């Protein structure tokens, strides 16, 4: 009886190991291409919608209106696009303004890879990773490519007025998202393709 119980446990563990292994199998070239194309489309669409709304808010009421828009409306907008594409879209960073954007462990690893590549002056390309649960995550760098971004993420006193920074600090007391220049790495897009 003990042998049967032991054998059953060994078989169950082996099967569990097989399941985990199959979820972690490398992506085929076709899968990589499909996930990359879909990830780029989702990021481009999300960026265009967010940046369009932010540009309108800046035009209407300057930095105070744009920061307020980000604080209240950006997440519901991203959530609606996540639902539309059946993915989880996240902007992640280590230079946090909104704590909801704080990079998790996996995202920090990707950010470190991008920081190293940037230091070596190499081109930053999208990265794909398969998680242990089988989900595939598409990562893409967020770089400061428009002077408009510096209105909220540049240097206080030159790019950001003291009055505007006071508004930012009021909404985000622990802000750590300033001091950036053109072409700086600001964070990453993280698009999780849910397998379940």
Asked, for residue 21, whether it belongs to a domain, the answer is no
Across the range 87-113, mean pLDDT stands at: 96
Element (H, E) at 139: strand 136-143
Q: What is the pLDDT of residue 23?
A: 52
Is it the case that residue 19 has pLDDT exceeding 70?
Answer: no
Domain with 99, as residue range(s), is: 26-193
Asked, for residue 145, whether it belongs to a domain, the answer is yes
Asked, for residue 18, whether it belongs to a domain, the answer is no
Asked, for residue 5, whether it belongs to a domain, the answer is no
Is it the case that residue 133 has pLDDT exceeding 70?
Answer: yes
Q: What is the mean pLDDT of the chain?
A: 87
Is it the case that residue 22 has pLDDT exceeding 70?
Answer: no
For 31-52, how does the pLDDT look when each residue is reduced to its tens digit (9 = 90+)? Answer: 999 999 999 999 999 999 998 9
Indicate whether this model's pTM tops 0.85.
no
Asked, for residue 134, whether it belongs to a domain, the answer is yes
Q: What is the pLDDT of residue 20?
A: 39
Q: Model confidence at 95, in pLDDT bands (50, 70, 90)?
A: very high
- How far apart CA 86 and CA 171 sit, in angstroms, is 30
Check if the beta carbon of residue 136 is closer than 8 Å to that of residue 195: yes
Asked, for residue 2, whether it belongs to a domain, the answer is no
The β-bridge partners of 127 are 139
Higher pLDDT, 64 or 174: 174
Count structural domains, the chain. Answer: 1
Across the range 136-160, mean pLDDT stands at: 95
Asked, for residue 1, whether it belongs to a domain, the answer is no
What's 193's DSSP letter?
E
Q: What is the pLDDT of residue 73?
A: 81
The SS3 of residue 79 is helix
Check if the beta carbon of residue 39 is closer than 8 Å to that of residue 191: yes
Tokens, residue 153: 């993420």
Asked, for residue 93, whether it belongs to a domain, the answer is yes
Instruction: Give the helix ranges, DSSP H, for 28-104.
Output: 29-85
Across the range 137-163, mean pLDDT stands at: 95
């Amino acid at each position: 009886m003990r042998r049967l119980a032991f054998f059953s446990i060994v078989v169950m563990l082996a099967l569990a190991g097989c399941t985990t292994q199959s979820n972690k199998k490398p992506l085929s070239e076709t899968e990589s291409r499909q996930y990359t194309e879909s990830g780029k489309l989702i990021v481009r669409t999300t960026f265009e919608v967010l940046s369009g709304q932010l540009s309108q808010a800046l035009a209407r009421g300057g930095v105070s209106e744009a920061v307020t828009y980000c604080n209240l409306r950006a997440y519901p907008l991203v959530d609606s696009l996540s639902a539309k594409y059946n993915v989880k879209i996240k902007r992640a960073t280590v230079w946090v303004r909104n704590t909801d954007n704080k990079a998790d462990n996996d995202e920090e690893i990707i950010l470190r890879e991008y920081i190293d590549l940037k230091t070596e002056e190499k081109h930053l390309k999208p990265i794909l990773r398969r998680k242990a649960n089988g989900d595939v995550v598409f990562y893409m760098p967020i770089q400061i490519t428009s002077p408009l971004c510096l209105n909220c993420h540049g240097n206080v006193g030159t790019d950001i007025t003291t009055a505007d920074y006071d508004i930012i600090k009021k909404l985000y007391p622990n802000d750590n998202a300033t001091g950036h220049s053109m072409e700086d790495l600001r964070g990453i897009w993280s698009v999780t393709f849910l397998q379940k």
